[in-house]
Amino acid sequence: MPPFQNTLSSFWKAISIATRLVGNDMVNDAKENFIKQGFDGIPWKEVQRRIAGTKAYKYPKRKGTNRRTRAILIGAGSGRLKKSIRVTQITNTEVAIGSDVPYAEVHNEGKKAGRGAGFMMPQRKYMGLTKTLDAQIEKRINQAMDDVFNA
């Protein structure tokens, strides 16, 4: 194989590997935001069940202190939203992550929810690009290019 085709083949192989790694980085970053209970260093809005004086605090649906200590969007439930985050589309030039859970967009974007969409859910963003993630993606791509052109 001519040297140019060899380099071109190595280039596309490196890009393919880099996009998969970038996808994994994006998924891991989104899942980490659940642990941090915030996005890009900004904490999520507090839930009503923890704010004294609110109806949810005064008249809880469940008894016990767990309702005041459990994590936002994770809680004592199944963790379905966090577990559902995955790479949804990947090409040599694009990587997209998402969730198939119906309420994922409502929490990430802050939209109307509930029966008849009568409640405005506060935005608790967990997916999206941040400066840190952007720098990590750039580092992955630069490393892939260095592997190809410095080999």
Model confidence pLDDT, tens digit, residues 64-92: 666 666 677 776 567 899 999 999 999 98
- pTM score, whole prediction: 0.82
pLDDT given for residue 133 in this prediction: 94
Q: Which residues contact 81 (CB under 8 A, 6 or more apart)?
A: 34, 73, 74, 99, 101, 103, 104, 107
How many residues does this entry show for the chain?
151
In the structure encoding, which two tokens stand for residue 120, read together?
């405005």
Q: What stretches of the chain show up as alpha helix (H) in DSSP?
A: 3-36, 55-58, 66-69, 80-83, 104-109, 131-149
pLDDT given for residue 26 in this prediction: 97
Model confidence pLDDT, tens digit, residues 8-20: 888 889 999 999 9
